Structures are given as C-alpha cells and as structure tokens.
Structure 1
Amino acid sequence: MRTNTATRTYALPSITFQSAAAVLAVVAAVALPQIFHVAGATLGLGAALGQTLLPMHLPVLLVGLLAGPYAGVATGALAPIVSFALTGMPMAPMVPFMVIELAAYGLFAGLLRGVALPESIPSPLAWLVKLFGAQVAGRVVDAIAIAVAVYLLGNAQMSVASVGAAIVTGLPGLILQWIAIPVVMFVVDRKRG
C-alpha cells in the first residue's frame, strides 16, 4: 500500500537483499569505528571521537530501516562481536552490552520502518520520528541490561548512570544520525517511488 513517501509502508525485502544488507552493514559497523579512531588519534582526541560520533550505530540503524528487523537485529548482534574479534574493540566487558544495545536498535528500526504515519508528515520527518523511536527503545533496552548486570549480577564495573553519561557524550553522534539517516531514507524513497 502506498499513498505518499511519508505514509508509505514497506513489505520486507527479499532474503537475499536482507542478507546482503546485513553483511555490508556489519562491514561498515566494523570499519567506521576504525576510521573514526584513526582520525581521533591523528587529531589527538584518542577514542573520544568514536565515543562522541557513535559510528557503529549508523549502519545498524540504517540497515534496520532499509532492510527490516531481521537484518537490523543480525547486524546489531554481530557487529560488536566481529569488531572485537578483528580489532579488539569494543573492550571485552562492553561487548555484551553493545550486542544488546545495537541488536535492539536494529530490531526497533526494522519494526518501525513499516509503520505508516499521517500523510501530513513529510518523508524526512517521518523517518526522523521512526529513527528517534528506535533510539529511545534501544537506550531503554540498554538501561535494562545494565540494571540487570549491576543489581542482579553484581557487576561493579557498570552503573545505570552510565546510560545518561553515554547519551550526553554521544549527543553529537545522535545529531549526526538525526540528519544523515532521514536524508538517506528520503533519497531511497525518491528512488523507489
């Protein structure tokens, strides 16, 4: 069913497309942080550039919106594991939390991709609303995972306050996502329609 780019709903793409999109997104989610870390080291910022601009989140959210929840959750779950295996980053204690958080982002982005919004909402704004919903849901899942680790499993290396600190630190990355992802999705809409 298609009324305009703001209310367009999408059937899931083929398994081949979903699989290829997930593989490419995992590659991007491993490569982008490395590029940001090299740039950060060159600029004397160390790992701060990657923590601030959230480069691993971009391909996960984008593949969820483009290819659906299966590709999104697969990318989100695999990207930190593959990245750790190949590069040693993220740090080992962070890998399970990154897997949970990124898988949630990919899942919710994929689930929200097909949600029809009112025709009065222009396409870029509709994608921004869906993206924001996926980001909030992913952070809630991350906060729950951290709370379980701290309060039920006694993990003294984590704190629930780290979720708020991560949001503040990553605000430039969130802004980058709020600009780049709706623009990409708008361009995709224009090409499809």
Structure 2
Amino acid sequence: MQANATTSRTYALPSIKFQTAAAALAVIAAVALPQIFHVAGAALGLGTALGQTLLPMHLPVLLVGLLAGPYAGVATGAFAPIISFALTGMPMAPMVPFMVIELAAYGLFAGLLRGMSLPASIPSPIAWLIKLLGAQVAGRVVDAIAIAVAVYLLGNAQMSVASVAAAVVTGLPGLILQWIAIPMIMFAVDRKRD
C-alpha cells in the first residue's frame, strides 16, 4: 500500500494462516532443494560442491522472511536443517546447530527488514536487494558469533571463524543467484499487489 509518491511502500504482516502455509512450503523447499542439487552434483561428478556453491537451503528461508515476515522466517530457518537432517542425514550432525542459528537469523532479519521504509524513488527490485543484503550480512554476523563462541568458549576444534569467510567465497555463485532471483520474485509480488 502506497500512501503517496513521496513515501515508500509499507508492508503489514500477512495473516497467521498465510505465514504458517508459507513457512511450511519454505521448509519443504529448503529440505528438497539441497537434495536436488546433490543429485545433480553427483550426476555431474561434482559431489556436494554444487550445494555448497549455490546455497539451496538459504533461498527459501530468505524468501519466506521477505514474503511472510520474521515469524515464518525464523520458523523456516530453525526447522529446515533439523528436518533435513532427520530425513536425509544432511547437513552433517556437527553442522546442524550452526545451520539452525544461521538460517534462523537469515529468516528473522529478512522478515524484520521486509517492512523497512525506503524512499519511493528507489525501484522495487533495488529496494528488495538492499533488504536482502541486510539480512545476508546480519545472518553471517550471527553465524560468525556462534562459531566464535563454539571455538573460543566451548573449545570446538572442528570449527573456525575463518570458515565464515571461506563459506562466503565458496557460496558466491549462490549469493549472486539470490541477488538476482529474490528481488525479481519480490518485484513480481509487488506488481500483483498493485
């Protein structure tokens, strides 16, 4: 809903029914997409590298946060890795708590930033890209803090804070995919709302 040409669009939270349905569908997508990518990676002789590069679990979590708000985003981010592990054994058990924290943070911040006011002069896809970037940076910061706590306070020798930077570099193609796909999807949603 746009008040006038000088203010930005505001986004009220959708109904509880919509948030619940969106979160359920996003969890299904966040569990299924990595499996599809792993099968494709195996067929191409890449193993799990395709999934690590294209970040298929992140996409539905970020998208549902922007579409349905912080509650749906957090729920999707928290449940998807747990359900995926229970059904498929992936991610590996030591990674599950970190993925829950990271993905829940992505969903939370995407949901919180969906309502952020930006000038109406900023084109819709660029506005959504700004919000997406904010959620991605915040999620990575939370992930780095969780890993730092595990390494420095809990003595986890399997993790390192440098792994956050390495994950960003490895996942750059997935980030680029998100930077293109998510703003375009949200722009299409905006056009439907108008």
- Root mean square deviation of aligned Cα: 1.0
Q: Aligned residue pairs: how many?
A: 192
Cα offset, 1:120, TM superposition = 1.5
Cα offset, 1:37, TM superposition = 0.2
- Aligned ranges 1:43-192 → 2 under 5 Å: 43-192=44-193
Normalising to structure 2: TM-score of the pair?
A: 0.97
Cα offset, 1:89, TM superposition = 0.2
Cα offset, 1:116, TM superposition = 1.1
Q: Which residue of 1 aligns with 2:13?
A: 12
Cα offset, 1:151, TM superposition = 0.1
Residue 10 of structure 2 aligns to a residue whose secondary structure is coil
Gap runs ≥5 in structure 2: none
Deviations 1:56-105 (A, max 9, x none): 00000000000000000000000000000000000000000000000000
Return the letter of the residue paired with 1:75: T
Return the letter of the residue paired with 1:136: V
Q: In structure 2, how many angstroms separate the alpha carbons of the residues matched to 1:23 and 1:192?
A: 22
List structure 1 runs of 4+ shifted beyond 6 angstroms. Answer: none
Q: In structure 2, how many angstroms separate the alpha carbons of the residues matched to 1:12 and 1:62?
A: 14
Q: In structure 2, how many angstroms separate the alpha carbons of the residues matched to 1:117 and 1:149?
A: 37
Normalising to structure 1: TM-score of the pair?
A: 0.98
Cα offset, 1:119, TM superposition = 1.5
Q: In structure 2, how many angstroms separate the alpha carbons of the residues matched to 1:175 and 1:31?
A: 21
Cα offset, 1:7, TM superposition = 2.1
Return the letter of the residue paired with 2:24: V
Q: In structure 2, how many angstroms separate the alpha carbons of the residues matched to 1:7 and 1:67?
A: 19
Q: In structure 2, how many angstroms separate the alpha carbons of the residues matched to 1:183 and 1:10?
A: 17
Cα offset, 1:112, TM superposition = 0.2
Q: Which residue of 2 aligns with 1:42?
A: 43
Q: In structure 2, how many angstroms separate the alpha carbons of the residues matched to 1:188 and 1:124?
A: 11
Q: In structure 2, how many angstroms separate the alpha carbons of the residues matched to 1:13 and 1:47?
A: 36
Is 42-51 or 6-15 further displaced after alignment? 6-15
Deviations 1:135-161 (A, max 9, x none): 000000000000000000000000000
Q: In structure 1, how many angstroms separate the alpha carbons of the residues matched to 2:64 and 2:99?
A: 17
Residue 27 of structure 2 aligns to a residue whose secondary structure is helix
- Taking only the aligned residue pairs, the percentage that are identical comes to 87
Gap runs ≥5 in structure 1: none
Q: In structure 1, how many angstroms separate the alpha carbons of the residues matched to 2:190 and 2:124?
A: 8
Return the letter of the residue paired with 2:163: S
